[in-house]
């Protein structure tokens, strides 16, 4: 088989250190303000103004809290964490008392994701400090874990990241258009016939997971002028994607096929890295070393976020963090981790109700009030990332309770979470709340929320709804 030319197949490198440029000649920057006039359409970023502020306590002129007290206009943005008292800017107004009761005028019924871009950069820097000179390849698949791949990728590019991993070619296209040409983008699921045009047009590097993928790719690469480089994925025990022992043996004995692939990385994936004591970690490490030694020397990559905490033997030349960039706990030992919270789901109080003892709440009447309760109906449900499994358990069943935050207090979810609405028991809140006040989900309680439903923090992030308004924060927004 003819070995295709690799001339020009690497992404062009800037000779003067300037960032890459778009087709219109304008530089791509991590703090790109090109979206400052974007409309608040479904799934699109919402750019904030400088005249008002929004906090989890409620909307208020320049940060006024739900109590209506005056604000300094600087509502406590810390640069690293987004919590119930942190602020974004909006066009809302203080609480009023009308015929229907206390409400907050000017609020939106649409849930909002507060995404702290400075925290993403800080998490990247903290992981880089931990691993030293080893490169970071950022996982931005699944729309950067639900946070918006274009904006997150530009932020990471601005932090110095030049290697990105996505799951599909369509995701790769989106990232390439956001960050420009001066970066490598690997597609973890590998090439498929209908996706090949995207690989060549947007210079995406396929991760080769089998001999069949290898042969299909080289057949197409022979016809291309400048085929992208590839990565080889060796399965070391996960039994998911990756070349098994037979495929690895075949490829190692067929140097013509190996050279035609043009790999610039050999990788595998750890199955049990969150548990440092699991013997699967050392087994996979040994298998990866043995298998990769059968090929010419290339950069190696094994560790995900959790793998970075297993120590230097697992780092090789590149690590591939995902959840750690986005503020999620990656291991069973939270104390060792260096990530800060990144995202909060904020949802407004739409209605306040008094539920008498013995009355039921929500679908299936699965919750019965054991006392007279004050209930806040919140404008977010499972369509926005609050899973049905966070519903309260019937009284005859045992289970953990899921919570949200209001007025910096944790309040329990009651009844069944529905598509658009969730109900909270606010009976024990000290201060009065108003329609239009905001409840917070996730934030610094991401792992707590995952534990409550016996689920994964990864899943809670990627479930964050596309109809949520995304509001991106930087410390400079509050300067």
pLDDT of amino acid 33: 40
Q: Report the distance separating Cα 183 and Cα 176, nearest Å.
A: 8
Query: Is 363 designated active site?
Result: yes
Buried b (16+ CB within 10 A) or exposed e, 140-174: bbbbbbbbbbbbbbbbbbbbebbbbbbbbbebbbb
pLDDT of the residue at 203? 97
Average pLDDT for the chain: 83
User: 282: part of which helix (H) or strand (E)?
Assistant: helix 279-292
pLDDT at 77 over 50: no
Specify whether the CB–CB gap between 349 and 438 falls below 8 A: yes
Q: Which of 121, 141, 173, 470 is catalytic?
A: 141
**Sequential DSSP letters for 358-378:** T-EESGGG-EE-SS-EEEEEE
Q: Which CATH architecture has domain 116-336?
A: Alpha-Beta Barrel (3.20)
pLDDT for position 295: 98
pLDDT digits (tens, 9 = 90+) for 120-132: 999 999 999 999 9
Query: What is the pLDDT averaged over residues 374-388?
Result: 97
Residue 101 has what pLDDT? 52
Q: Is 80 a catalytic residue?
A: no
pLDDT tens figures, 38-49: 333 333 444 433
Other CB atoms within 10 A of residue 72 CB:
9
Using an 8 Å Cβ cutoff, are 137 and 163 in contact? yes
pLDDT-wise least confident of 102-106, 151-155, 456-460: 102-106
> What's the rounded Cα separation, in Å, for the pair 134 and 120?
19
CA distance 353 to 381: 18
pLDDT tens readout for residues 301-351:
999 999 999 999 999 999 999 999 999 999 999 999 999 999 999 999 999
Tell me the per-residue pLDDT of 249-285, one tens digit each, with 9 for 90 and over.
999 999 999 999 999 999 999 999 999 999 999 999 9
Per-domain boundaries in the chain: 39-114+341-479, 116-336
- Residue pLDDT, tens place only, 330-344: 999 999 999 999 999
pLDDT at 476: 73
Q: Where are the beta strands (DSSP E) in 219-342?
A: 230-233, 263-267, 300-301, 318-319
- Whether the CB-CB separation of 67 and 450 falls below 8 Å is answered with no
Residue in 290, 312, 363, 400 annotated catalytic: 363
> Domain 39-114+341-479: which topology?
Lyase, Ornithine Decarboxylase; Chain A, domain 1 (2.40.37)
């Amino acid at each position: 088989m003819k070995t295709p030319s690799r001339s020009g197949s690497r992404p062009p490198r800037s000779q003067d250190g300037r960032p890459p440029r778009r087709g219109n000649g304008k530089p791509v920057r991590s703090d790109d303000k090109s979206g400052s006039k974007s409309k608040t359409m479904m799934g699109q970023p919402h750019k904030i103004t400088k005249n008002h502020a929004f906090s989890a306590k409620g909307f208020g002129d320049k940060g006024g809290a739900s109590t209506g007290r005056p604000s300094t206009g600087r509502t406590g943005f810390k640069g690293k964490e987004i919590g119930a008292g942190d602020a974004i800017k909006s066009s809302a107004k203080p609480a009023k008392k009308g015929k229907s009761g206390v409400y907050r005028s000017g609020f939106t019924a649409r849930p909002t994701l507060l995404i702290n871009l400075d925290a993403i950069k800080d998490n990247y820097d903290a992981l880089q400090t931990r691993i030293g000179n080893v490169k970071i390849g950022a996982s931005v698949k699944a729309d950067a874990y639900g946070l918006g791949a274009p904006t997150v990728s530009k932020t990471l590019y601005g932090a110095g990241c030049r290697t990105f991993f996505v799951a599909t070619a369509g995701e790769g296209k989106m990232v390439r258009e956001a960050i420009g040409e001066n970066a490598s983008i690997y597609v973890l699921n590998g090439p498929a016939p209908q996706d090949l045009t995207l690989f060549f047009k947007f210079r995406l590097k396929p991760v080769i997971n089998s001999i069949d993928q290898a042969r299909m790719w080289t057949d197409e690469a022979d016809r291309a002028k400048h085929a992208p480089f590839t990565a080889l994925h060796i399965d070391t025990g996960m039994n998911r994607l990756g070349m098994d022992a037979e495929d690895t043996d075949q490829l190692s004995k067929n140097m013509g096929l190996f050279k035609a692939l043009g790999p610039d990385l050999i990788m595998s994936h750890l199955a049990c890295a969150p548990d440092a004591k699991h013997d699967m970690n050392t087994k996979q490490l040994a298998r990866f070393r043995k298998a990769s030694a059968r090929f010419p020397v290339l950069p190696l990559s094994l560790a995900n976020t959790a793998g970075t905490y297993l120590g230097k033997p697992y780092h090789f030349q590149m690590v591939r963090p995902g959840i750690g960039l986005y503020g999620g706990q990656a291991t069973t030992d939270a104390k060792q981790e260096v990530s800060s919270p990144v995202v909060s789901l904020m949802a407004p109080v739409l209605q306040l109700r008094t539920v008498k003892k013995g009355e039921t709440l929500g679908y299936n009447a699965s919750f019965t009030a054991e006392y007279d309760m004050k209930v806040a109906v919140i404008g977010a449900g499972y369509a926005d990332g609050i899973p049905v499994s966070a519903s309260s358990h019937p009284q005859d069943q045992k289970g953990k309770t899921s919570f949200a935050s209001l007025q910096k207090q944790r309040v329990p979810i009651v009844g069944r979470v529905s598509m658009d609405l969730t109900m909270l028991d606010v009976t024990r809140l000290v201060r009065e709340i108003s329609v239009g006040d905001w409840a917070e989900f996730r934030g610094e309680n991401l792992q707590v929320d995952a534990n409550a439903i016996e689920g994964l923090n990864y899943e809670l992030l990627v479930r964050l709804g596309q109809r949520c308004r995304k509001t991106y924060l930087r410390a400079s927004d509050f300067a």
